[in-house]
Amino acid sequence: MAAGQELVSAWRPRVPGVTEVFHARFTEYAYPMHVHDAWTLLIVDDGAVRYDLDRHEHGTPLDTVSLLPPHVPHNGSPATPGGFRKRVVYLDSSRLGEEFIGPAVDSPDLRDPVLRLRVGQLHSALARPGDELEAESRLTLVAEHLRHRLRRRAAGGRHESPVLARRLRELLDARVVEGVSLEEAGRLLHAHPAHLIRAFSGAYGIAPHQYLMSRRVGRARRLLLDGVPPGEVAPVAGFYDQAHLTRHFKKLVGVTPGRYRSRAR
């Protein structure tokens, strides 16, 4: 594959709990720090990915299943010269609840060949229209396996974000489209804007504006998968205009909204 050539495919299957399936091949593209509002269940079929989660570096060998929790910033870049090919399924809280975020942060990479095989089988079923029942059945067993592992970890402790950072995150989550200024956030949360930035960045490893932009890009992805034309997505997702959407979408997803939608099923 030529340097810089990126291939993606994205769709939303008719399987409860799945918000998106995303297959991609990246040779040079590196994800900046960003967040998702869904669980990221990731396997790498070729090459390897290195990423930072909660200020710790991780990697994805071929026998690994990576489970990245929602709301926790992470990045990603090729760890091998030829880039990487990955398959991702994004899961909502009906499959994995937020009570498992802390245990998932501790050890996001699962060295489990059987689980790796089952996630691969899940992707095969998700890619075949008409096999939704098989996909749902396979996902049910995978999610049960993940919950079992995470429950065992949860007994060892739990992560708690500082109160002020958590309250700002909740405010940003409630204002994804319309946004909120630091001045207004300071008034609502009774804190100086500079203190808000320090508290949020210290707790989550990402600035408030980066978090908000990640949430907006996530909303744009869902709208594009719903069939909304790229030209209509920008204002609905909270972007100033189409150029604003395109700049941030390409930065976080690796392709433009138009290419993403053209590769969506």
pLDDT of residue 38: 95
Asked if the structure places residue 210 within a domain, the reply is yes
pLDDT of residue 135: 94
Are residues 240 and 137 part of one domain?
no
Neighbours of 11 (CB within 10 A): 16
Are residues 221 and 171 part of one domain?
yes
pLDDT of residue 161: 56
Are residues 133 and 77 part of one domain?
yes
pLDDT of residue 99: 86
Are residues 145 and 37 part of one domain?
yes
Are residues 146 and 36 part of one domain?
yes
Total domains present in the chain: 2
Q: What is the pLDDT along the chain (265 residues), one digit of tens a residue?
A: 334 467 899 999 999 999 999 999 998 888 899 999 999 999 999 998 999 887 778 887 777 999 999 988 999 998 888 899 999 999 999 999 988 888 898 889 988 899 999 999 999 999 998 899 999 999 999 999 999 888 876 655 444 458 899 999 999 999 999 999 989 999 999 999 888 998 998 888 888 999 999 999 999 999 999 999 988 999 999 998 999 999 999 999 999 999 998 876 6
Are residues 178 and 81 part of one domain?
no
Are residues 207 and 118 part of one domain?
no
pLDDT of residue 1: 36
pTM > 0.85: no
Q: What is the CATH number of the domain that holds 55?
A: 2.60.120.10
Cα–Cα distance, 79 to 76 (Å, whole number)? 9
DSSP H helices, the chain, are 101-106, 113-126, 132-154, 163-174, 182-189, 193-204, 208-225, 230-237, 242-253, 257-262
pLDDT of residue 151: 85
pLDDT of residue 93: 92
Asked if the structure places residue 186 within a domain, the reply is yes
Asked if residues 28 and 3 have their Cβ atoms less than 8 Å apart, the reply is yes
pLDDT of residue 160: 46
Asked if the structure places residue 2 within a domain, the reply is no
- Domain encompassing residue 240: 163-262
Are residues 126 and 177 part of one domain?
no
pLDDT of residue 106: 83
Are residues 257 and 199 part of one domain?
yes
Query: What is the DSSP secondary-structure string of 52-92?
Result: EETTEEEE--TTEEEEEPTT--EEEEESSTT-EEEEEEEE-
Asked if the structure places residue 181 within a domain, the reply is yes
Asked if the structure places residue 1 within a domain, the reply is no
Are residues 173 and 140 part of one domain?
no
Are residues 104 and 46 part of one domain?
yes
Are residues 124 and 54 part of one domain?
yes
